Amino acid sequence: MTEQPSRRLLLVHAHPDDESINNGATMARYATQGAQVTLVTCTLGERGEVIPPRLRHLTGAALGAHRLTELRSALGELGVTDVRLLGGAGRYGDSGMMGLPDNDAPDCFWQADLDEAAGRLAEVVTEVRPQVLVTYDDNGGYGHPDHIQAHRVAMRAVELAADAGWSVPKVYWNRIPRSVAEAAFARLRTELPGLPFARSGSVDDLPGVVDDDRITTAVDGTAHAAAKAAAMRAHATQIEVAEPWFALSNEQAQPLFTTEHYELVRGPRPDTRETDLFAGLAPEEAS
């Protein structure tokens, strides 16, 4: 059996593009350093709104298939080779935005049986044996049903994997410190006239913004800014990039962060802010 890398990071995301927006710099940094970086994506994002007019004919399964190619291209930019589709490609459908009839589709992720979906993820956890798992908070960052479900599935999978023999030492939720978000939007307002975006978003539009004292970890990925931007560009149906800014289908500009922030929710909370997701692991945990 091939020996596993000493550091192993597992990220759980709802749709293709979430990984690059939230964690692209982190993934590139650890992949470059030789860590095993595994991404689990729960849906293909079949209900995403397509930005380029030339691609707007893509809907449903065709859009999902296209977004899978975008995902693979994005991971190539980040240097990540291990991507899993939860239950296999198309097993769980995109649930659409909260409150829409799409949420009631029997095959959508929002309607998935929690223990069944978490059991599938737990199999990945026990295979990869990550020391670090990253996902969303209990609101999915911004209330999207697939993000909320990804949180639930990830946290339940950690429990099931522990029962099966692998206890994940550290679990993090994606975060953005409020002070960082506010400063970035202040800069954006001054630069907006020269950007290809009609208007600016706001701090309230960003997922996972919390008061600064909630932040336990800041991963400096500025050396991998170009890789993150390239990965986001690969998701061309969903993202328009004008570094260091980008916009989604709402055409509202927002910051492209290359230092990515986290809140440690499983594992001893550090006394000072960490700069490494693997900080503080005992030797026996890094094996």
Q: Which of 106, 102, 101, 96 is nearest to 148 (CA)?
A: 96
Strand order in the sheet with 252-255: 199-200, 252-255, 245-247, 240-242
Tell whether residue 204 is among the known ligand binding residues. no
List, for residues 80-110, the tens digit of each pLDDT value. Answer: 999 999 999 999 999 999 999 999 999 999 9
Residues ≥6 apart with Cβ < 8 Å to 78: 20, 24, 27, 28, 31, 37, 224, 227, 228, 231
Establish if 284 belongs to a structural domain.
no
Establish if 182 belongs to a structural domain.
yes
List, for residues 58-79, the tens digit of each pLDDT value. Answer: 999 999 999 999 999 999 999 9
For helices 60-78 and 18-32, the axis angle rounded to 10 degrees is 30
Establish if 155 belongs to a structural domain.
yes
Establish if 167 belongs to a structural domain.
yes
**If you average pLDDT over residues 265-275, what whole number do you get?**
95
Angle at the Cα of 199 (from 197 to 202), degrees rounded to 5?
120
pTM, 2 dp: 0.96
User: What is the C-alpha separation between 82 and 72, in angstroms, rounded?
Assistant: 10
Q: Which of 142, 20, 41, 44 is nearest to 93 (CA)?
A: 44
Q: Indicate if the pLDDT at residue 284 is higher than 80.
A: no
Confidence class of residue 3 from pLDDT cuts 50, 70 and 90? Answer: confident
3-state secondary structure of 58: coil
**Residue 105 identity (one-letter amino acid):** A
Domain with residue 228: its CATH number is 3.40.50.10320
Establish if 223 belongs to a structural domain.
yes
Tell whether residue 18 is among the known ligand binding residues. yes
Range of the domain at 109: 8-266
Strand-pairing partners, residue 240, are 247
Please give the tally of structural domains in the chain: 1
Percentage above 70 pLDDT, the chain: 98
Tell whether residue 147 is among the known ligand binding residues. yes
List, for residues 8-31, the tens digit of each pLDDT value. Answer: 999 999 999 999 999 999 999 999
The per-residue pLDDT for 283 is 62
Q: Does the CA dihedral 101-41-229-68 come out positive or negative? A: negative
Q: Indicate if the pLDDT at residue 1 is higher than 70.
A: no
Residue with tokens 């509202």: 252
Confidence class of residue 282 from pLDDT cuts 50, 70 and 90? Answer: confident
Q: For residue 216, is it left (φ>0), alpha (ψ between -120 and 50) or beta?
A: alpha
3-state secondary structure of 38: strand
For helices 114-128 and 145-164, the axis angle rounded to 10 degrees is 60
Establish if 1 belongs to a structural domain.
no
Q: Does the CA dihedral 182-183-186-191 come out positive or negative? A: negative
Confidence class of residue 287 from pLDDT cuts 50, 70 and 90? Answer: low
The per-residue pLDDT for 38 is 98
Establish if 3 belongs to a structural domain.
no
Establish if 142 belongs to a structural domain.
yes
